[in-house]
Structure 1
Amino acid sequence: MSGKDRLSIFPSRAAMTLMKGRLKGAQKGHSLLKKKADALMMRFRLILAKIIESKTSMGEVMKEASFSLAEAAYSAGDFSLGVLQNVDKAQTKVRSKKDNVAGVTLPMFECVADGTDTYELTGLSRGGQQVAHCKDMFGKAVTLLVELASLQTSFITLDDVIKITNRRVNAIEHVIIPRIERTIQYITTELDEREREEFYRLKKIQEKKKKTRIIEDAARARYIQQQIISEGMSTEPRNLLEETGADPDILF
């Protein structure tokens, strides 16, 4: 979290809601990136197994192709000059396409045949069977080389993407989420402290109002008593017999 984010996160309910939303988004992003990393790793291991299999097959195919070339040269002599003179364009071409794996674009290559086979009747001449076999073996070798190149390119691309994705997953898991959780904990602590301070303040205000009310009641009672005294009225009960004097004698 940058310094600007620290300044903008003021301990309040709105800040708490904002940080909880960020935490939820970070957790969801971490889950999605983790699933993406798992999918890429699964495809990565599958490609690695195919690369090992293709390299093993490549050794056998190249060995057979070299041996068939030696057989064709022994049976038909040096036929390389005739092949070079008759070739005007490539018969086998490489086509590029793309594959999408968890949002990652992987380049794929495949061999396609362009036009007819110029040497489809090669087997009718001297040593033609060996030459045709040599052509088929080298065709398989070219196809396998293109497949291996496609796998190697996808392997390198996936390796780079997996490293970047794992770094992002680790950053979210070990840096971003703990930082947001610490910020939420700080805001919660500040809000609790503020609530305790508010409760203490209200309690002190109530005590002060109570004392003020007691003082005001006492002052009002003293004022009333002073008013009664100033008007010459006694607070004790009066004796009416003393005020009217002795009663007259009654004659019968």
Structure 2
Amino acid sequence: MDLNTCATKGNLIIIKNSLALSKQGYELMDKKRNILIRELMQLIEKASSIQSEIDKTFTEAYASLQRAILEMGMNRVREASAAIPLENSVRVKTRSIMGTEIPLVEFEKRSPSLAYSFHSTNQFLDDARMQFEKVKELTLRLTTVENSAYRLSFNIKKTQKRANALKNITIPKYEALVHNIQNALEEKEREEFTRLKVIKRQADKKKSSASSGA
């Protein structure tokens, strides 16, 4: 609303309502931001935990793979790896947190049965495969968490920007308008009161003069 808005009681009511709505909007934005920040902190902690688990599992998987290569030879390990089916069951869904769409990565967990022959492989290759399967699952979980954290971070910035605009621009503007209009209305009331006193005084004088003449 224009800062030069006419000082009327109707406009004062409209601006007070706008001020109340702006303050309510700021409180909601502030609550939303705090909720999103808490969610983000939890995701960051979860991502750190998953990453540590991935590092540990990768180390164990490569150690088993190296032992398998040493005992079986690179060619036999390569042949065995060709029997492992490609992953094509990954699906991405979403859920909403305070209006923020969060991705959920899902995949079909395969049975632990091996796809290659036992007589041409050894335990280290089996261990390596199971460890890499675990890495795949952990990586998908980490992807979900990191994407969720990125989207929450972006939404937090947007929410913070809107909250700041309400707090530092919109609310002070309406407060100034309310203050100015209230002052103007009070000034008008004082002027009206003074004018009525003058009119009453003049009327009393005329009445007194009329009484004296009679």
TM-score by length of 2: 0.90
> Which residue in the other structure is 1:6 paired with?
3
**Mapping of residues 157-168 of structure 1, within 5 Å:** 157-168=151-162
Q: Tell me which amino acid in the other structure corresponds to 1:176.
A: T
**Could you tell me which residue of structure 2 aligns to residue 96 of structure 1?**
92
Q: Is the Cα–Cα contact under 8 Å of residues 90 and 107 in structure 2 kept in the other structure?
A: yes
Report SS of the residue matched to 2:15: helix
Report the AA paired with residue 166 of structure 1. Answer: Q
* Residue 138 (str. 1) matches residue 132 (str. 2): yes
In the alignment, which residue of structure 1 is the partner of 2:186?
Answer: 192
Please name the residue that 1:169 is paired with. 163
* Distance in 1, Cα, partners of 2:24 & 2:151: 26
Shift of 1:201: 0.3
Q: Give the distance between the partners of 1:91 and 1:103, measured in 2 at CA.
A: 32
Which has the larger Rg?
Answer: 1
Could you tell me which amino acid in structure 2 is paired with residue 142 of structure 1?
A: K
Q: Which amino acid aligns with 1:77?
A: G
| Offset, 1:144 | 1.1
Which residue of the partner structure matches residue 145 of structure 2? Answer: 151
Q: Which has the higher relative contact order, 1 or 2, with Cα contacts under 8 A spaced 6 or more apart?
A: 2
- Give SS of 2:16's match: helix
Q: Name which of 105, 112, 118 aligns with 1:109.
A: 105
Instruction: Name whichever of 75-84 and 31-40 sits farther off.
Output: 75-84
Pairs within 5 Å for 1:1-252: 5-7=2-4, 9-78=5-74, 79-83=76-80, 85-86=82-83, 90-91=86-87, 93-113=89-109, 119-120=114-115, 122=117, 124-219=118-213, 221=214
State the 1:68 CA deviation: 1.0
Distance (Å, rounded) in 1 between the aligned partners of 2:149 and 2:36: 10
Conserved? CA contact 1:91–1:113, under 8 Å = no
Deviates more, 1:34-43 or 1:91-100: 91-100
Tell me, which stretches of 5 or more residues in structure 2 are unaligned?
Answer: none
Shift, 1:121, TM fit: 5.6
Distance 1:92 1:217 in 2: 109
**Structure 1 residue matching 2:108: 3-state secondary structure:** strand
- Give percent identity, aligned residues only: 24
Amino acid of the structure 1 residue aligned with 2:73: G
AA aligned to 2:209 is: I
Q: 1:130 corresponds to which letter in structure 2?
A: F
Counting matched residue pairs gives: 213
